[in-house]
Structures are given as structure tokens and as C-alpha cells.
Structure 1
């Protein structure tokens, strides 16, 4: 679960332009794990 939190933070810092795309990937992976 920590990896799902840390990875998006790293992606956001290294690529702020793709912030929304990274958020989509983050929430998609989070929802898939919740299911």
C-alpha cells in the first residue's frame, strides 16, 4: 500500500506536466486493489 502512495509522489515531483495522467494511473491502481 505504501508503494501506491510513494510512487505517485515521485512521479509528481519528476514530471509535474503529467500530473493528471499520473493521478489517473494512481487512482486506477488504487481502485483495482480495493476491488
Structure 2
């Protein structure tokens, strides 16, 4: 059971990192589109 909780924490952390990365990529893309 403890291992399941650890996997949940890791999954949420990785999801947050990917969300941050996608947000940064989105900001860079919008900046590139601006003249």
C-alpha cells in the first residue's frame, strides 16, 4: 500500500513538471508569433 502512495506522489509530481514545461513552451511560441 505504501508503494501505491509513492507512485501516486511521483505521478502527480511528474504531471506538474510536464504542465510547467508545456506552459513554458506555449509562452515561447506565443512570443515567437508576435512581430
| Greater relative CO (CA pairs within 8 A, separation 6+) | 1
- Structure number with the higher helix fraction is 2
TM-score by length of 1: 0.50
Larger Rg: 2
TM-score by length of 2: 0.50
